[in-house]
Amino acid sequence: MSKVKVAINGYGTIGKRVADAVSLQDDMEVIGISKTRPNFETQLAHQKGYPVYTLADKMDAMKKAGIPVAGSIEDMVTNADIVVDCTPGGVGEENKSLYEKAGVKAIWQGGEEHELAGVSFNASSNYEEAFGKDFVRVVSCNTTGLCRVLHPLDQQFGVNKVRVTLMRRAADPGDIKKGPINAIVPNPIKLPSHHGPDVKTIMPHINIVSTAVKLPTTLMHVHTLNIELGKECSAADVRSIFERQSRIRLIGQGINSTAEIIELGRDLGRPRNDMWENCVWDDSITMHEGELYFFQAIHQESIVIPENIDAIRAMTELEKDGARSVAKTNKAMGF
């Protein structure tokens, strides 16, 4: 069977990781990436063998920098079965007419609104909803992290109520425009934050309210969760559910911070020290007066990457069974 042809529109933090993850799968291939200017990332993409496409008015600049251009972004989209749009939040929306005109399927990221695609996606929570769809949005890093823990708890015990505080990294490590900041910023000040409603785009029945602050760090986000479950259970019951989730990693053994989680990623030999799993502090899992509490850390740069691969598989009907797709993606990426 021929491989599904995937184009990556926007080759930044998320786009370059999606491209590398696609190229590790045996049922899909990268037919092109788009860059808006020649820089080290463009050069590296070319060296990796990804055909480079660009905006019509940037072709000369690319050629002058010694980067062969395969064509315009319109050409790339036309050659693909599916486009993974990894442009900055808000920009992806402008590309919808381009994808519609080319008759190509498209995945957007969490920076876009749910309504743009009509289906929001998390592999373990609603894989089947994306099956055969033309447009899907893979939810943000924080929403992905919340869905991964809430869905299995909801299946097992029912979830009556969730209250979560998100402590967010201010910027990504390579970002010199937004950070570092020397401040703690309630963001947004007007409560609650958008993260709760975003979880509801995947699990509409969950009663969830979220608040968020930005902190002077670039490494990861940390969530403090407080959950009222529908049935009585112990911390050990919760732990054993999390242990069975391939995209949740229970952490301990002297890991007391996000810095040490990133060090673990390095020691594991992960590409770009990526931590694709939710990192739940084992010792934090506590039942207090019938309510569940725990901390988890979310690696914003990488947690949505396996979800994009599963979304491609669902939308192009390569695999009907979500659990099988997740296992295949994990194996190919080296979880």
Instruction: Write out the binding residues for ligand NAD, residues 113-142 only, by CB under 6 A.
Output: 140-141
Strands 159-169 and 221-229: antiparallel
Structure tokens at 111: 């920076």
Q: Which is nearer to ligand NAD, 173 or 192 (CB)?
A: 173
Among 4, 6, 7, 10, binds ligand NAD (CB under 6 A): 10
Q: Report the C-alpha gap between 260 and 253 in whole angstroms.
A: 10
Rounded to the nearest whole angstrom, what is the least distance from the CB of residue 301 to ligand NAD in the complex?
5
Determine if 51 is a binding residue for ligand NAD (CB under 6 A): no
Among positions 3, 5, 12, 181, the unique one binding ligand NAD when judged by CB under 6 A: 12
Which amino acid does the sequence have at 285? I
| Site pattern 18..37 for ligand NAD (x: CB under 6 A) | ----------------x-x-
Q: x-or-dash pattern for ligand NAD, window 145-174, by CB under 6 A?
A: ---------------------------x--
Q: Which of 25, 87, 125, 126 binds ligand NAD (CB under 6 A)?
A: 87
Of the candidate residues 61, 111, 179, 180, the single one contacting ligand NAD (CB under 6 A)? 111
- The answer to whether residues 22 and 306 touch, using CB atoms and an 8 Å cutoff, is no
Nearer to ligand NAD, 24 or 91 (CB): 91
The nearer residue to ligand NAD, 194 or 324, going by C-beta atoms, is 194
Report the nearest approach of ligand NAD to the CB of residue 309 (Å): 14
- How would you class 190 by CB atoms within 10 Å of its CB: exposed for 0-12, middle for 13-18, buried for 19 or more? exposed
Which residues does 174 contact at the CB level (< 8 Å), separation at least 6? 13
30 is written with which tokens?
A: 């990268």
What minimum distance in Å lies between the beta carbon of 288 and ligand NAD?
Answer: 31
The per-residue DSSP string of 226-237 comes to EEEESS---HHH
Size of the site for ligand NAD (CB under 6 A): 24
Residue given tokens 């099956």 in the structure block? 131
Q: Using CB atoms, what's the residue nearest to ligand NAD?
A: 12
Catalytic pick among 86, 141, 147, 279: 141
Q: Where are the beta strands (DSSP E) in the chain?
A: 4-9, 28-34, 52-54, 71-72, 82-85, 105-108, 120-121, 135-138, 159-169, 185-186, 208-215, 221-229, 248-251, 278-281, 286-288, 291-298
Angstrom distance (rounded) from CA 154 to CA 202:
13
Whether 141 is a known active-site residue: answer yes
* CB nearer to ligand NAD: pick between 238 and 311: 311
Count the Cβ atoms, other than its own, within 10 Å of residue 128.
Answer: 10
Task: Compute the least distance from the CB of residue 175 to ligand NAD, in Å.
Answer: 7
Site for ligand NAD in 89-108 (CB under 6 A): 89, 91
| Closest CB to ligand NAD among residues 227, 303 | 303
Residues in the chain: 335
Give Dmax (Cα) for the chain. Answer: 66
Q: Which residues are catalytic?
A: 141
Residues in touch with ligand NAD (CB under 6 A): 9-15, 34, 36, 86-89, 91, 109-112, 140-141, 172, 300-301, 304
